[in-house]
């Protein structure tokens, strides 16, 4: 097969993505594009085609990117439209930024019934910073609850977009979809290379994301920025410093379709044959092995950093090997996951796992339970603290067990997030109260129509447990939230240890602000008394700071009536049996182990109520 060599006419290529808040119809619009461009026949069409994971389909959230190439005829010319779908959740912000970097334009999708939400605005800002052409599209205009006037007003005030730029569609019915395709061709510029002296060998391709295939190893989704990607050419990954020989290259149609060459401006995939997806880093630069020393890496690369940590223990201790195997398989598909083995006296062997955010953690837990049939106990999520010791060293502490002795701590720094909240004016009061309780500081407010944008700085530790649930609760579900990690700042925090039968249970211990530590300790101990089952011996449940016990509750022992079979007779026989029972309980109390159930760990999550 003859390979068409560089340069190829790129004027007919358009690379774009769709950015939107959760459930604003991004995947439905993608489905409408696939139909309108006849990329997928009606016979093969299924809803939410681009979502590969059952949890994505169920939650209505795209987690893993899936690009697709569509051909569309316009004014006698055939155009190649590359849609790079983006994850629609706050935890996957870095993946969104890299997929936007692979585009020249973006469709900003807004739900006509909900208006602009926090995530819409955050992703819009990312697209603007990258210099993308924005096409604002108002979706769901067929809904009876659609409020077009309010949505148009928000677009004018918050996005500074003129009214004539706005497009109106119903992705569900197909109304207005062709107008959007025409706008993509007319408004979004064709891709241009960045190296003026590029030759066919000077390849620079951006790794958008990666997946794992059992037959072809790690597969990189790439956008060719400069040069061209030719099959069987030895390649090199800049950040990982890995040489590789591609097994196959191709594009998405939306299935993987093999091709001998990917030209400048095109989007496709490279089957690398690598067994470790951690080597394929999102945002990395792929080039040829021959040009690796003279080609500059593409800007914007960042290592994904886990922000939320959780310990997972199998309920059946024999399942630990299965849990480790399952996590190893998940990491192949999701290189942002980090894990290591851990051990707890109460729960046995388990894994300490680092996630990008609380939603990421939820998805991984569900996948472990569904796909690998594992029953797990999850501890309360925690964040990374920077601890400056009296000896001048800085420790990164990811869980209470790693906290040094209080006498060795000079200063503790906690992660702070910039939080954007969109809320109807009627609910501003309850939101201000909630954020005050969560140690939030108001930075800015902006009104647009009947809704208000609130900008806060809030400690990440306050965000990861139940902040989102409480926000939805106090605003009757109308508020939307977006957060971004900003910096670390000093905090007066201490470790509160939880003891069951005088034995520290690290999995229940937590880090708290000093002012709230005693109250949180009391609340948790009270809850644990309700949820830990009774034992055959008395069990004290205590909360302690260092050596000082700040709260205690006692779970009374189960009491068998050992004198039930006695009737009449001498009283001394009765006393002898009771004394024997008391002696047995005393011995049990010394050697007995408290069985902790899932409810005990869930109590930690809701201990602030």
Tell me the mean pLDDT in the region 494-506: 82
Predicted local confidence at residue 602, as pLDDT: 60
Distance CA 554, CA 502 (A): 12
Using pLDDT thresholds of 50, 70 and 90, give the confidence band for residue 241.
Answer: confident
Distance CA 250, CA 406 (A): 57
Residues 6+ apart with CB under 8 A from 310: 352, 353, 355, 361, 378, 379, 380, 381, 382
Report in angstroms the alpha-carbon separations of 229 from 82, 167, 246: 17, 36, 10
SS3 assignment for 399-432: CHHHCCCHHHEEEEEEEEEEEEEEEEHHHHHHHH
Distance CA 355, CA 368 (A): 14
Distance CA 467, CA 456 (A): 13
Is a pLDDT exceeding 50 seen at residue 6? no
Is a pLDDT exceeding 80 seen at residue 4? no
Classified by CATH at the fold level, domain 13-187 comes out as Rossmann fold (3.40.50)
pLDDT digits (tens, 9 = 90+) for 251-261: 888 778 888 88
Is a pLDDT exceeding 50 seen at residue 47? yes
- Domain boundary assignment for the chain: 13-187, 204-291, 308-379, 406-491, 494-605
Q: Do 97 and 109 form a contact (C-beta atoms < 8 A)? A: no
198-207, 334-343, 542-551: least confident range = 198-207
Most confident stretch, 17-31, 128-142, 296-310: 128-142
Tell me the mean pLDDT in the region 591-609: 56
Is a pLDDT exceeding 60 seen at residue 426? yes
Predicted local confidence at residue 590, as pLDDT: 44
At residue 366, what are phi and psi to the nearest 5 degrees?
A: -65, -40
Report the CATH number of the 494-605 domain. 3.30.70.2570
Predicted local confidence at residue 589, as pLDDT: 47
Per DSSP bridges, beta strands 133-139 and 105-111 are parallel
Is a pLDDT exceeding 80 seen at residue 182? yes
Using pLDDT thresholds of 50, 70 and 90, give the confidence band for residue 222.
Answer: confident
Report the CATH number of the 204-291 domain. 2.40.30.10
Predicted local confidence at residue 195, as pLDDT: 56
What kind of architecture, by CATH, is found in domain 406-491?
Answer: 2-Layer Sandwich (3.30)
% of the chain residues with pLDDT over 90: 1
**DSSP symbol at 60:** T
Higher pLDDT, 193 or 64: 193
pLDDT digits (tens, 9 = 90+) for 295-337: 777 777 777 777 788 888 888 778 888 888 888 878 776 767 8
Report the CATH number of the 308-379 domain. 3.30.70.870
Using pLDDT thresholds of 50, 70 and 90, give the confidence band for residue 44.
Answer: low
Same fold, 308-379 and 406-491: yes
Q: Do 505 and 499 form a contact (C-beta atoms < 8 A)? A: yes
How buried is residue 60: exposed, middle or buried, by Cβ count under 10 Å (0-12/13-18/19+)? middle
Report in angstroms the alpha-carbon separations of 438 from 14, 212, 513: 45, 40, 11
Residues 6+ apart with CB under 8 A from 520: 496, 510, 512, 607, 608
pLDDT digits (tens, 9 = 90+) for 266-285: 888 888 888 777 777 778 88
**DSSP symbol at 7:** P
How buried is residue 178: exposed, middle or buried, by Cβ count under 10 Å (0-12/13-18/19+)? middle
Tell me the mean pLDDT in the region 508-528: 85
Considering only CA atoms, give the Rg of the chain: 29
Among 378, 312, 308, residue whose Cα is nearest residue 351: 312
What global pTM score does this model have?
0.69
**DSSP symbol at 135:** E
Distance CA 375, CA 173 (A): 42
66-80, 176-190, 366-380, 583-597: least confident range = 583-597
Higher pLDDT, 53 or 150: 150
Distance CA 40, CA 152 (A): 33
Predicted local confidence at residue 3, as pLDDT: 44
Is a pLDDT exceeding 60 seen at residue 562? no
Using pLDDT thresholds of 50, 70 and 90, give the confidence band for residue 1.
Answer: very low
Q: Is the dihedral of CA 267, 270, 276, 280 positive or negative?
A: negative
Using pLDDT thresholds of 50, 70 and 90, give the confidence band for residue 288.
Answer: confident
How buried is residue 150: exposed, middle or buried, by Cβ count under 10 Å (0-12/13-18/19+)? middle
């Amino acid at each position: 097969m003859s390979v068409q060599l560089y340069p190829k006419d790129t004027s007919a290529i358009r690379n774009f993505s769709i950015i939107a808040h959760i459930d604003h119809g991004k995947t439905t619009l993608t489905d409408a594009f696939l139909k309108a461009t006849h990329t997928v026949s009606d016979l093969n069409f299924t809803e939410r085609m681009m979502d590969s994971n059952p949890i994505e389909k169920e939650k209505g959230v795209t987690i893993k990117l899936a690009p697709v190439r569509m051909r569309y005829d316009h004014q006698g010319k055939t155009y190649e439209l590359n849609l790079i779908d983006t994850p629609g959740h706050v935890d996957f912000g870095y993946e969104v930024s890299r997929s936007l970097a692979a585009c020249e334009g973006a469709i900003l999708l807004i739900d006509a019934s909900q208006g602009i939400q926090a995530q819409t605005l955050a992703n819009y800002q990312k697209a603007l910073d990258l210099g993308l052409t924005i096409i604002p599209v108002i979706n769901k205009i067929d809904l009876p609850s659609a409020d077009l006037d309010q949505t148009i007003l928000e677009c004018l005030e918050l996005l500074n977009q003129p009214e004539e730029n706005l497009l109106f569609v119903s992705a569900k019915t197909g109304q207005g979809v062709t107008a959007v395709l025409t706008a993509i061709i007319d408004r979004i510029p064709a891709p241009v290379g960045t190296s003026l002296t590029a030759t066919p060998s000077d390849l620079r391709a951006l790794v958008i994301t990666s997946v794992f295939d059992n037959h072809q190893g790690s597969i990189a989704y790439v956008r060719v920025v400069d040069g061209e990607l030719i099959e069987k050419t030895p390649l090199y990954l800049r950040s990982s410093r890995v040489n590789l020989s591609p097994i196959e290259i191709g594009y998405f149609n939306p299935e993987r379709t093999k091709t001998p060459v990917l030209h400048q401006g095109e989007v496709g995939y490279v089957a690398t044959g690598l067994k470790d997806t951690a080597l394929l880093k999102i945002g990395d630069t792929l080039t040829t092995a021959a040009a690796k020393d003279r080609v500059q890496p593409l800007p914007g690369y960042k290592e994904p950093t886990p922000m939320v940590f959780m310990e997972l223990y199998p309920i059946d201790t024999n399942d630990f090997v299965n849990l480790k195997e399952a996590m190893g398989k998940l990491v192949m598909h999701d290189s942002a996951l980090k894990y290591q083995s851990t051990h707890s006296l109460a729960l046995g062997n388990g894994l300490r796992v680092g996630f990008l955010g609380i939603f990421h953690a939820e998805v991984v837990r569900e996948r472990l339970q569904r796909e690998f049939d594992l029953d797990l106990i999850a501890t309360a999520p925690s964040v990374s603290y920077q601890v400056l010791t009296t000896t001048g060293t800085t420790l990164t502490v990811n869980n209470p067990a790693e906290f040094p002795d209080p006498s060795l701590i000079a200063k503790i720094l906690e992660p702070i997030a910039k939080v954007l909240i969109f809320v109807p004016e009627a609910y501003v009061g309850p939101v201000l109260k909630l954020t005050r309780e969560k140690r939030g500081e108001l930075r800015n407010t902006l009104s647009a129509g009947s809704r208000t944008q609130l900008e806060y700085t809030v400690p990440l530790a306050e965000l990861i447990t139940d902040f989102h649930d409480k926000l939805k609760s106090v605003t009757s579900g109308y508020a939307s939230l977006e957060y971004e990690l900003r910096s670390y700042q000093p905090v007066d925090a201490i470790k509160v240890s939880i003891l069951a039968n005088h034995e520290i249970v690290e999995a229940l211990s937590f880090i708290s602000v000093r002012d709230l530590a005693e109250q949180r300790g009391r609340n948790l101990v009270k809850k644990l008394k309700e949820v830990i089952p009774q034992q055959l011996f008395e069990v004290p449940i205590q909360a302690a700071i260092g050596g000082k016990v700040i709260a205690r509750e006692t779970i009374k022992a189960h009491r068998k009536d050992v004198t039930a079979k006695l009737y009449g007779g001498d009283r001394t026989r009765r006393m002898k049996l009771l004394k024997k029972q008391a002696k047995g309980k005393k011995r049990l109390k010394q050697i007995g182990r408290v069985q902790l159930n899932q409810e005990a760990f869930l109590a930690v999550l809701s201990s602030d109520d």
